[in-house]
Structure formats: structure tokens, C-alpha cells
């Protein structure tokens, strides 16, 4: 159970993230200018996916770095071998991960940048 002070801190955090959300586009453009965001992927971070989501069950793998992304590839391949009916979405945060991993994933994997969300409604069903 959350404490009263924890609830207050959470509400302050939510108010701040909601308040700064209009600045996210400018921040991502600045990061793109500095070479920290991929020029083709920065809009995905704003919730504009490069590919529409197909119907069906989806398994989402997220890796922050290149090492985590490379470690996830065998797991993704195993999931697709066992359950070819599922859709796999892979997201990575760094530009270096995108450049390396995009050529190592199976063709039927959707690969995008992660969305930055300030909405409390964007919560995955399960996080492993």
C-alpha cells in the first residue's frame, strides 16, 4: 500500500510530466539535430508508428541498449518458432542499437522506437 507522502510525490510527478509534454517535440528535434535520435525514428517516439499495428496478439520486447537488444534476439526467434501466430514488436532506445539490430531481426518483426508517454493510460499488461 502506498504511503501518503508517496502518493503526493506521484501526483507531483504526474503533474510535471503532463505539464512538460508539449516540450517533448522540441526536445526530440534538438536530440535529432545533435545526432542522438535517428532521423527516421524520432516521430515514433511521439506516438506516430512507422507501421500500423496488425490485428492479433502482440508481444512487445523493449531493450534500452545495443547489448540488451542483441540479447533479446534469440528470445524473439524462439517465441516466433513456438508461436508463429503472434506479432512481435521490438523497440530500442539508442541510435546505435537501431543501426545494428534492424538487420539482425527476423523479417516479420516490427521494429520501432519506443513512444514517450506522459499519459497514465499507456501501461502494458505485463512487464517481464
Q: Give yes or no: 68 in active site.
A: yes
Q: For residue 118, tell me if it sits in a domain.
A: no
In the set 7, 51, 68, 99, the catalytic residue is 68
- Which of these, 54, 65, 42, 60, lies nearest to 113 by C-alpha position? 42
Per-residue model confidence (pLDDT) at position 128: 47
Residue 83 lies in a domain: yes
> Does residue 66 fall inside a structural domain?
yes
Asked if residue 96 belongs to a domain, the reply is: yes
Counted domains in the chain: 1
- What local confidence, expressed as pLDDT, does residue 51 receive? 78
Assess if residue 119 is contained within a domain: no
**Residue 45: CB partners within 8 Å, gap ≥ 6?**
24, 28, 37, 113, 114, 115, 116
Instruction: Tell me whether residue 117 is in a domain.
Output: no
- Which residues make Cβ contacts (< 8 Å) with residue 54, sequence separation at least 6? 87
Instruction: Give the mean pLDDT per block of 10 residues along the chain (128 residues).
Output: 78 81 81 81 75 86 92 96 93 85 91 67 50
- Alpha-helical (H) ranges within the chain are 4-20, 24-33, 66-82, 95-101
Quick check: is 121 in a domain? Answer: no
What is the pLDDT, as a whole number, of residue 93? 82
List the domain range (segments joined by +) for residue 57.
Answer: 4-112
34 located within any domain = yes
Amino acid at each position: 500500500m502506498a504511503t501518503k507522502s508517496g502518493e503526493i510525490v506521484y501526483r507531483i510527478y504526474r503533474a510535471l510530466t503532463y505539464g512538460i509534454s508539449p516540450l517533448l517535440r522540441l526536445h526530440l528535434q534538438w536530440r535529432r539535430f545533435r545526432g542522438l535520435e535517428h532521423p527516421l525514428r524520432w516521430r515514433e517516439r511521439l506516438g506516430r508508428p512507422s507501421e500500423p499495428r496488425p490485428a492479433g496478439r502482440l508481444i512487445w520486447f523493449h531493450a534500452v541498449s545495443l547489448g540488451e537488444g542483441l540479447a533479446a534476439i534469440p528470445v524473439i526467434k524462439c517465441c516466433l518458432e513456438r508461436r508463429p501466430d503472434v506479432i512481435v514488436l521490438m523497440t530500442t532506445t539508442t541510435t546505435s542499437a537501431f543501426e545494428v539490430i534492424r538487420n539482425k531481426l527476423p523479417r516479420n518483426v516490427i521494429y520501432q522506437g519506443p513512444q514517450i508517454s506522459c499519459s497514465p493510460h499507456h501501461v502494458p499488461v505485463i512487464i517481464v
